[in-house]
Amino acid sequence: AASSTKNHGSGPPNPKFWGVAKSGLQGSAVKNGQLLVKQKGMNWYNGANVTRCSDYSLRSTKDGIVQWRGSYKHKEVYVVPWEYVRLNC
């Protein structure tokens, strides 16, 4: 007799945490190498003092404050260094 199994593919959920990290919100203080955005493809773009990793995530390259700019289609995240903030703000 032939055998069969039920519920193929069901199991515990495996959530993916895509999107803007807590450290990537507008006005957040970040350190060098801190994760700002985890994304699948290019939803957000890297600006000044931000690098894009091989998995498209965005990380800061300097200590500073996170800022966002751009329109809905081309959102860009950049980091304003603490040196600039202390001198000009």
Structural domain boundaries in the chain = 19-88
- Judged by DSSP in three states, 87 sits in helix
Written out in words, the top-level CATH class of the domain with range 19-88 is mainly beta
Q: Could you tell me how many residues make up the chain?
A: 89
62 with 81: CB under 8 angstroms? yes
- pLDDT tens for 28-87 read 999 999 999 999 999 999 999 999 999 999 999 999 999 999 998 899 999 999 999 999
What counts of helices (H) and strands (E) characterise the chain?
1, 8
Predicted TM-score (pTM) of the model is: 0.82
Q: Is the pLDDT of residue 11 over 80?
A: no
The distance from CA 78 to its chain's CA centroid, rounded to whole angstroms, is 11
Q: Are strands 75-81 and 50-52 parallel, antiparallel or unpaired?
A: unpaired
Q: With residue 20 as reference, give the H or E element that holds it.
A: strand 19-20
